Every structure is written in C-alpha cells, then in structure tokens.
Amino acid sequence: MGKVVVVTSGKGGVGKTTSSAALGAALAQSGDKVVVVDFDVGLRNLDLVMGAERRVVYDLVNVIQGEAKLAQALIRDKRLETLYLLAASQTRDKDNLTAEGVEKVIAALKKTFDWVICDSPAGIERGATLAMRHADVAIVVTNPEVSSVRDSDRIIGLLDSKTLKAESGERMEKHLLLTRYDPARAERGDMLKVDDVLEILSIPLLGIIPESMDVLRASNVGSPVTLADGRSAPAIAYFNAARRLKGEELPVTIPGEKRGFFGKIFGRKAA
C-alpha cells in the first residue's frame, strides 16, 4: 500500500504545485513509483509544470464521473518511467469532485503506487478539503511571511479535524516545507526567521527551499526542478526533503548560512 501525501498551504502562490512536481520527481528518481494528482479543478497547472500539457486526454473529473478508466487518465512522464500525472479538469468546476469519487480514485492509486501526491488548490474550500481528506501525510508549504504562516496554521487546524485520520482519532503526520526562502532578505530582517515560523506552526521541518531563478526557469520549460538541473540549490533542497519524507534523518541546512554554523544546523527539527 502506498502513502498518500497532500501538499497544501491555504494561501496561493507559495509553491504547492512546484513542490508537488519537484518532490514527485525526486521520489521517482529514487526508484519509487509515484503519481502526482492535481486537485485544482478549473485552474490546473501541474500539467504545465511537469511538461505534459499537450498529452492530457482524460482527467481526474472524467475518472470520477466514469467517463474514463483510471489507466487511461494516467500520464507517464517522458523522462522518468516511474513518474505519473493525473491532471485536473480545466473546464469543469470543483463541484464535480465528489467525496465518494475521490475516495475510489485514491484507493485505486494506493494499490499500484508507492506515493500518491495530492497537489491541493489554494483556499479551504471543497477542493482543498477533498485533497487532504484521505492523506496519510501532509506537507504544509509556507513562505517566510506572516500571511502565509497564518494561513498554514489554519490549514494545520483543518488537517487535525477534517481528515479521515483525524476523524478516526489518529494523528496526521505533518511536515513543514519552507519555500521561497531568500537568504539576502533574511539577512536584512525583511523576512520571518526560520525559528519564528517553526515556533508559530510547531510542526517538524521537512526542508527549506531557497528562492531561485532555477525554479522559475524549470517551470517555464515544463520540467520539475529536480529533473531540470539536479545540481541547483533548490533541486538539492528538494532531494533532501524527499529523503526526509522517506524517513531518513538528515540535518536541515538554512540556505545562505555560512559553514561553521554546524551547532545551529543540528537540532533544527521542531516539536
């Protein structure tokens, strides 16, 4: 049985889709079978970021409505044969996602994939709650600024109350992925510090992704950053985050921090 991961944030534009694609590609490169599912019905982007926009025939809504079989809707990545995409519908709206339909699709995907990564839409409405509903693990994507942190806090509250795991009294495993971290701005004090974000959200840190032109460039050519340039700073950060997601104990490094700060680097895991 595979693990269902929801990538969520509450706020839009923080890097959910980028992170879903990058982590999916990183996990797939380690040999695991991965599917990334776009839940953003009506505003789909994952197909663009993964460079599959010209190969979408059927999508998640078609499968839920019984218009296509799951196998028909799954798009295999051209570069990685263990990486698949299930696109969202661009023409339908969120009402086409039903709780029973989503449950069926997720259950079927869990049987054949090691990782089912659900890319949640922004907001706390139907699309977002359905994306998180069946998750085993949640990745909360947050930018180091106050509005993003508060929205993430709200989402963590929902993860602890509105998911199947929470309703059955189990504990939802939650990880913080701090994205668009700018060392220069952090230096000037224009940005929340890592420790402040961890103190407010009090969930363990999965990784810190530096703000980088490499991310934008990778998106523009339709490639997850972990596939486009595996040696760029954000790609390395995503690879390490994927290893931590698989249970490896790796110290989290803060981008831009000089060497010799080893004391600070260790023990960064919160709560």
Partner 1 sequence: MTEVLTQPRPIRLKGRSFLALALTPELPFEDWLARLDDLAARSAGFFLRRPIVLDVGGLPIDRVQLRELVHQLGTRNVRIMGIEGAQPSMLGSDLPPAMADGRPASDFEAPTADEDDDAGVAEYAAPSDPAQAANAKATPSLVITQPVRSGQSLFFPEGDVTIVGSVASGAEVVAGGSIHVYGTLRGRAMAGTTGNASARIFCSKLEAELIAIDGFYKTAEDLEPGLRGKAIQIWLEGDALKAVPLG
Applying CB under 8 A, the residues found at the interface with partner 1 are 146, 150-151, 153-154, 156-158, 160, 169, 171, 174, 199-200, 202-203, 270-271
Q: End-to-end alpha-carbon separation of the chain, Å? A: 28
Smallest distance, partner 1 to C-beta of residue 138, A: 12
- Gap between the Cα atoms of 32 and 34, Å rounded: 6
CB of 55 to partner 1, least distance (A): 39
The answer to whether 56 is a known ligand-binding residue is no
Residue 91 is assigned to a ligand binding site: no
Of 44 and 165, the one with the shorter C-beta distance to partner 1 is 165
CB of residue 72 to partner 1, shortest distance in Å: 39
243 contact partners, CB below 8 Å, separation of at least 6: 30, 250
Residue 160 Cβ vs partner 1, minimum distance, rounded to whole Å: 7
Whether 189 has a binding-site annotation, put simply, is no
Smallest separation, CB 170 to partner 1 (Å): 9
| Alpha carbon distance 157, 38 (integer Å) | 22
Q: Residue 218 in contact with residue 229, Cβ under 8 Å? A: yes
**DSSP conformation letters of 55-124:** S--S-HHHHHTTSS-HHHH-EE-SS-TTEEEEPPPSSS-GGG--HHHHHHHHHHHHHH-SEEEEEPPSSS
Contacts 24+ apart (CB under 8 A), 260-267: none
Type and span of the H or E element at 208 = strand 205-210
SS3 50: coil
The response to whether 13 counts as a known ligand-binding position is: yes
The reply to whether 16 sits in an annotated binding site is yes
Would you say 9 or 212 has its CB closer to partner 1?
Answer: 9
Q: Is 78 annotated as a binding residue?
A: no
Asked whether residue 18 is marked as a ligand-binding residue, the answer is: yes
What's the closest the beta carbon of residue 163 comes to partner 1, in angstroms?
A: 14
Q: Which is nearer to partner 1, 93 or 199 (CB)?
A: 199
Q: Helices (DSSP H) in the chain: which residue ranges?
A: 16-29, 46-49, 60-64, 70-73, 99-112, 126-133, 146-159, 164-167, 183-188, 194-201, 213-220, 225-228, 233-245, 262-265
As annotated, the binding site includes 11-18
As annotated, the binding site for ATP includes 11-18
